[in-house]
Structure 1
Amino acid sequence: MMRERQSLESAITTIRKLEQDLADSIDLIEMGEAEGDKDVITEAEAVIRHIHGDLAKRQVETLLSGEADGNDTYVEIHSGAGGTESQDWASMLLRMYMRWAERAGMKVELLEENPGEEAGIKSATILLKGPNAYGWMKTESGVHRLVRISPYDSNARRHTSFASVWVYPVVDDSIEIQVNESDCRIDTYRSSGAGGQHVNTTDSAVRITHLPSGIVVQCQAERSQHKNRATAWSMLRARLYEEELKKREEAASAQEATKSDIGWGHQIRSYVLQPYQLVKDLRTGVESTAPQDVLDGDLDEFMEAALAHRVHGGELEVADID
């Protein structure tokens, strides 16, 4: 209740400030025109342009109104077929999302990482903690495609690699998810990453398989098997909750032709580094000719467009301020 109240108070305060700034700027323009002061008019117009940009951002944030959008989020990344090349691509995606989260002022925790034989990762799971973490990240679920000259090919041939991203919200105490332990298989194993002698000689990592759904979660972030088990149970409850959210969304959009081609787990974005440079979102058509910036975490434009497309089937438009 307190979190919801704080969120509403913050939104109302922001809108009131925008309204007041706009009214003050209009008064300044009228005063500048009356006194022939061009500097005052220029300054007021600059403030209005800033208001317009802020308004566009706030309009996107209104789309983050789903019941779990305000929650923290888990992000799973899995390499596709292709060995070292796709495993390297998966590690690039992991870095991209960690960079984006840091830019957004979120806290990042690496819960599980399964390294590749030569380079990259086979899989990894991170936890992002921050305002609307799931709301922003949820549109990133799907298959991501990379086209480049492979640094692992001695003949310098062009390769296409795939990796999948799965995003699901952390389930807080206000959401009840019942999981029968009899429906789950629990395995323990030794952590595969760095961590010292203790990690490498004890079965501290935990993997839980939910047999009815086939969902598998794993955690090796802590030295303690007990802590890893607790985290894995939280991750499983979150995955089951996300499955329910997915079913609701699919049912709600079943009759909307504009959303018929948006499927969870399907290819959503292509990143081309050679022979030209282009990142293109296949759902919204948003493009960037600076793929390195995108891979460094510059994802806001793609996320905003995907959110608008998901809710409205198209791009948001902010009315011009006259």
Structure 2
Amino acid sequence: MPQPSTTRQSAAQRVAAIQEALGPLRASLDPDALAERVSSLEAEMQEPGFWDDNDRASRTSSEHSRASRRLETFRSLATDVEDLEGLVELADEDESMAAELDTQIASAEERVQALEMERLFSGRYDAGDALVTVNAGAGGTDAQDWAEMVLRMEMRWAEKRGFDVELLEVSPGEEAGIKSATFLAKGENAYGLYKAERGVHRLVRLSPFDAANRRQTSFAGLEVAPVVEDAAEVVIDDDDLQVDTYRASGAGGQHVNKTDSAVRITHRPTGIVVQCQNERSQSANRQTAMGMLRSKLAELEERKRQEEIAREKGDAQDVNFGSQIRSYVLHPYTMVKDHRTNVEAGNAQGVLDGDLDPFVRAELLREAGAT
């Protein structure tokens, strides 16, 4: 039977590190203020007629759920950390307790890490849902195939994190893969997390579409926009819109293939184009597409704000979200490397299957340190 990895000395050091981390977490979280906010939200939810306004009820109940969870997580962690010192002493007297000590410390370390991640989501839209768009770049059929691989990778990562995923639009490639696709990731901090994935993803491999099986470099771009719940936040002039309808392709049943139910909306002042074809009716597709447009316009304003902040700071950091962020090399060796943080992974297939957490965490920490 393997020996527990935690000696008393190393356990004490780990517990001390956890206790040290609790200080900044307590300061940033402010449990007393958070408890007051939870109470205030609960009182609001008990007001007569509260549930008559679906939008307000949804926003308030979502905030209440997030705040309650964060408060309970911190309180539970603080209580467990208080108990760890006593558990260290018990394990020193009774070796059979060592395994239990190791488990409890690991659990506390994991929760500390999760709460530290929460501190990174301070942006206006970070806590909300994300609209994720993948576009094929240079590289022809290989790039379109690569774009489909990136789409699969990003959607799998969302599912692993427990997000609800809804594919809104797919434009198939001529021979294989996709030209573009957009999906909605619904879950806590979805936008805050997906911001770390936007940019250009580069693939190097032996081309399955080349008769000579030569090495090919392909590119796919990933855009992320916050889901804007309040339509009043982004005002759109109908005169600025060009609305086109077309016959949807792909899955959707006979109805989709027989009517011009798909909708494409072009916002003339910015050139932003959105489209939706997953709904059954043209009106439903238009409504979804308008929501997508509001999200992309909100992201455009957020981008301009960040660029202005960078100029005011005299910061030379790259605020162009189209920059190359990561390379996926499948030949002559396998390696995934993030160019912003230098985080690497030898298990390229695991990354392509959605194991993105190490890359995302490192990038969020880098961004936090740069602000």
TM-score by length of 1: 0.92
* Residue 62 of structure 2 is aligned to residue 3 of structure 1: yes
Q: 1:82 to 1:45 in 2, by over 3 A?
A: closer
Q: Which residue matches 1:287?
A: 344
Q: Which residue matches 1:12?
A: 71
Q: 2:223 aligns with which of 151, 155, 166?
A: 166
* Amino acid in structure 1 at the alignment position of 2:64: R
Q: Which residue matches 1:242?
A: 299
Contact 1:26 1:44 in 2 (8 A): no
Contact 1:217 1:236 in 2 (8 A): yes
Aligned equivalents of 1:183 and 1:50: distance in 2?
A: 53
278-287 vs 21-30, which moves further: 21-30
Q: 2:86 aligns with which of 27, 41, 55?
A: 27
Q: 1:118 aligns with which of 175, 181, 184?
A: 175
Q: CA RMSD in A?
A: 1.8
Give the unaligned 5+ runs of structure 1.
315-322
Q: Which residue matches 1:220?
A: 277
Q: 1:51 to 1:174 in 2, by over 3 A?
A: farther
Runs of 4+ in 1 over 4 A off after TM superposition: 255-259
Q: 1:129 to 1:32 in 2, by over 3 A?
A: closer
Cα offset for 1:32?
4.1
Higher relative helix content: 2
* Amino acid in structure 2 at the alignment position of 1:235: M
Q: 1:175 to 1:14 in 2, by over 3 A?
A: farther
Deviations 1:88-134 (CA, angstroms, capped at 9, x unpaired): 00000111011111111111111111111111011111111111111
* Residue 119 of structure 2 is aligned to residue 62 of structure 1: yes
Aligned equivalents of 2:169 and 2:267: distance in 1?
A: 18
Aligned equivalents of 1:173 and 1:257: distance in 2?
A: 33
Q: 1:80 to 1:43 in 2, by over 3 A?
A: same
* Residue 155 of structure 2 is aligned to residue 95 of structure 1: no
Deviations 1:257-302 (CA, angstroms, capped at 9, x unpaired): 7761342111111111101111111111111111100100001111
Aligned equivalents of 2:316 and 2:111: distance in 1?
A: 28
Q: Which residue matches 1:146?
A: 203
Q: Which residue matches 1:71?
A: 128
Aligned equivalents of 2:355 and 2:232: distance in 1?
A: 32
Q: 1:258 to 1:312 in 2, by over 3 A?
A: farther
Contact 1:25 1:45 in 2 (8 A): no
Give the unaligned 5+ runs of structure 2.
1-59
Aligned equivalents of 2:276 and 2:259: distance in 1?
A: 14
Cα offset for 1:41?
4.2
Helix, strand or coil at the partner of 1:108: strand
- Give the total of aligned pairs: 312
Contact 2:307 2:319 in 1 (8 A): no
Helix, strand or coil at the partner of 2:233: coil
Deviations 1:156-194 (CA, angstroms, capped at 9, x unpaired): 110000011111011112862100000111111111223
42-51 vs 254-263, which moves further: 254-263
Q: Which residue matches 2:109?
A: 52
Cα offset for 1:223?
2.3
Cα offset for 1:44?
2.0
User: Which structure carries more relative contact order (alpha carbon 8 Å, separation 6+)?
Assistant: 1
* Amino acid in structure 1 at the alignment position of 2:225: Y
Cα offset for 1:22?
1.5
Deviations 1:210-262 (CA, angstroms, capped at 9, x unpaired): 11111110111112111000011111111111111111122223355776134
Q: Which residue matches 2:247?
A: 190
